[in-house]
């Protein structure tokens, strides 16, 4: 945390040896100096909320805010929360818009960013692989003006060309697939890609282009391990496409319990309306624009760590922004297991909040029976005012994870 430095003047002369007017001038100068200290290296000048960041600024923020990577027991290739859209209307009702967004995990963040329309977003995850995956997504967004191109690159499924290949010349060929329109329904896009096979050539070319974009355009250096991690993630998307799913290390006994990315993309809110960032053209365009302005910044960090969240809070205060929403998924469950919940709560207290700042949580129904659960979903999405969380923490109300998810929650169904 940055601390204000107060410049003080010391009077070494005896007051009774100075003329009265000189004393008054010195006293006035001392008071003014205490109220308005000049900028020093310990007190950097405040900045305005950025309209965009340069690639160098983006890479520097990601690098300098990050902590050492840690372990988590899954490959979060995609989200696993089927209820994630249930709170969209409630977010609007509660005025969750603008400001800063903080989130954890993979692509679900893009949907929340699209709905909240923040000025800046920080995606924080304890696994460095998650940051590498977000850099992969960022590169694909940069290279893909449309949703069709995005899905093509993500799955290494090349789009059909109007021009015949050398092998096709002077030979009868089957009719080419018709490209979906820019505003085609998401089901049409998914059906279109069902008819296209991923290819090794597309995978190899796309991977090279993604690495080049990350290192050249984003000025983000990738180590040998980073490149191996990127290849691992991208190869799984090439192999499984939108049938890819959240995967526990060793299976965890859950088998195929978790939803595929395809199932998540077509999910609806409680009114039956689709809302995934790939289902709505304007949402896709907003997220892409945020990425092109370098305003979605991935960070390696522990919620209970000493650096990442503190650095985010310092940056937001410096730029005059407050937290609008903080998507936690179910990380707090593991913070209690690892005895770092208290450190996390203290980090939250250091974030710049308003009386509208919101937590967004996921509760998994196979482990907890929550009164707000919606039948047919493996998760329940809840919210809580962050100032209420701080108040309850200070009052000693959080003895275990159950206290967090069952007390003082806001559900999609509540009026």
pLDDT at 76: 77
pLDDT of residue 163: 58
In sequence order, what are the residues at sequence separation of 6 or more whose Cβ sits closer than 8 angstroms to the Cβ of residue 348? 309, 326, 386, 389, 390, 393
Residue 77: the pLDDT is 87
Q: Are 158 and 152 spatial neighbours (Cβ–Cβ below 8 Å)?
A: yes
- The model's pTM is 0.85
- Which residues of the chain are under the pLDDT cut of 50? 1-43, 168, 172, 250-255
Structural tokens at position 77: 């290739």
Q: What pLDDT does residue 170 have?
A: 53
pLDDT for res 413: 80
Two structure tokens written together for 347: 């980090």
pLDDT of residue 176: 74
Separation between Cα atoms, residue 137 and residue 142, nearest integer Å: 9
Q: Which two tokens stand for residue 104?
A: 């954890």
pLDDT value, residue 171: 54
Q: Return the pLDDT at 278.
A: 98
Cα separation, 214 vs 290, whole angstroms: 16
**Is the torsion defined by CA of 280, 296, 85, 245 positive or negative?**
positive
Rounded CA separation 148/261 (Å): 16
146: CB partners within 8 A, 6+ apart? 182
pLDDT of residue 36: 35
CA 276 vs. chain centroid, Å, equals 15
If phi > 0 it is left, if psi is from -120 to 50 it is alpha, else beta; for residue 82 that is: alpha
Strands 74-75 and 247-248: antiparallel
Whether the Cβ atoms of residue 52 and residue 20 lie closer than 8 Å to each other: no
Q: Which residue has the tokens 């107060």?
A: 6
Beta bridge partners of 385: 358
């Amino acid at each position: 945390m940055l601390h204000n430095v107060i410049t003080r003047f010391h009077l070494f002369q005896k007051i009774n040896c100075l003329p009265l007017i000189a004393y008054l001038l010195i006293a006035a100068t001392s008071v003014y100096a205490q109220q308005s200290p000049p900028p020093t290296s310990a007190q950097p000048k405040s900045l305005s909320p950025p309209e965009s960041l340069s690639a160098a600024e983006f890479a520097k923020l990601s690098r300098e805010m990050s902590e050492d990577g840690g372990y988590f027991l899954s490959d979060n290739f995609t989200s696993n929360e089927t209820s994630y859209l249930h709170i969209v209307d409630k977010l609007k009702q509660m005025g969750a818009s603008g400001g800063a967004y903080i989130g954890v995990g993979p692509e679900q963040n893009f949907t929340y960013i699209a709905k909240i329309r923040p000025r800046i977003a920080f995606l924080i995850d304890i696994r460095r692989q998650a940051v590498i995956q977000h850099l992969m997504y960022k590169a694909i967004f940069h290279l893909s003006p449309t949703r069709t191109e995005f899905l093509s690159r993500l799955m290494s499924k090349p789009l059909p060309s109007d021009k015949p290949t050398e092998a096709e010349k002077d030979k009868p060929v089957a009719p080419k697939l018709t490209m979906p329109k820019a505003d085609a329904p998401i089901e049409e896009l998914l059906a279109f890609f069902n008819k296209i096979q991923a290819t090794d050539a597309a995978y190899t070319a796309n991977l090279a282009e993604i690495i080049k974009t990350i290192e050249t355009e984003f000025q983000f250096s990738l180590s040998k391990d980073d490149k191996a991690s990127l290849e691992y993630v991208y190869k799984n998307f090439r192999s499984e496409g939108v049938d890819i799913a959240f995967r526990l290390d060793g299976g965890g006994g859950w088998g195929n319990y978790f939803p595929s990315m395809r199932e998540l993309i077509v999910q609806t809110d409680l009114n039956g309306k689709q809302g995934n960032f790939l289902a709505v053209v304007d949402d896709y365009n907003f997220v892409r624009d945020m990425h092109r302005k370098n305003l979605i910044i991935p960070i390696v960090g522990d919620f209970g760590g000493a650096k990442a969240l503190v650095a985010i809070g310092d940056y937001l205060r410096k730029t005059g922004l407050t937290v609008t929403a903080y998507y936690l998924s179910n990380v707090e469950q593991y913070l209690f297991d690892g005895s770092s919940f208290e450190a996390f709560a203290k980090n939250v207290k250091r974030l710049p909040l308003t009386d509208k700042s919101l937590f967004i949580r996921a509760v998994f129904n196979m482990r907890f029976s929550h009164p707000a659960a919606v039948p047919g979903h493996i998760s329940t999405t809840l919210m809580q005012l962050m100032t209420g969380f701080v108040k309850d923490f200070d009052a000693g109300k959080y003895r275990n994870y159950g206290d967090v998810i069952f007390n003082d929650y806001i559900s999609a169904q509540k009026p």
